Amino acid sequence: DTAVSQTPKYLVTQMGNDKSIKCEQNLGHDTMYWYKQDSKKFLKIMFSYNNKELIINETVPNRFSPKSPDKAHLNLHINSLELGDSAVYFCASSHEGVETQYFGPGTRLLVL
C-alpha cells in the first residue's frame, strides 16, 4: 500500500538525452511537489501543483517541465540532460493548507 510512489527508482542515462520520472499518490491529496536532493543531502523544492495547477515554480532551468494529468499524478520531464542534473528526485504530496508533506522513495538519476 504505497502512499507516494515513483518510477523508475534508478535512471542512468547519457548527457543530452530526454527522460521522464513519474509520480503517483493514493492519499487523496490535492497538492504535489517535486524536490531535488543533491549529493550533500540538501533538499530543495522545484515545483508544486495544486489541483493540476502550477503554484510553485522555483528557479529551475526550463529544461525541466512538470506535468500533472490529474490530482493523483505529477510527472517530471527533463530535456537535454546535463551532468549537474545527477541527483535524487523526490515527489511529495499534501492536502492544501495542511503543513505535513509525504514523500516518495526517490528516483536516483545519474547522467554520464
Partner 1 sequence: QKEVEQDPGPLSVPEGAIVSLNCTYSNSAFQYFMWYRQYSRKGPELLMYTYSSGNKEDGRFTAQVDKSSKYISLFIRDSQPSDSATYLCAVKAAGNKLTFGGGTRVLVKP
Interacting residue ranges for partner 1, rule: CB under 8 A = 4, 31, 33, 40-45, 48, 50, 55-56, 90, 92, 94, 96, 99-106
CB of 54 to partner 1, least distance (A): 12
CB of 30 to partner 1, least distance (A): 11
CB of 45 to partner 1, least distance (A): 6
Question: Rounded to whole angstroms, what are the CA distances from 5 to 17, 47, 88, 93, 110?
Answer: 24, 17, 14, 11, 19
Q: Distance between the two ends of the chain, CA-based, in angstroms?
A: 34
Nearer to partner 1, 1 or 40 (CB): 40
Number of H helices, E strands in the chain: 0, 11
Nearer to partner 1, 14 or 100 (CB): 100
Question: Rounded to whole angstroms, what are the CA distances from 58 to 8, 33, 55?
Answer: 24, 11, 10
Nearer to partner 1, 14 or 99 (CB): 99
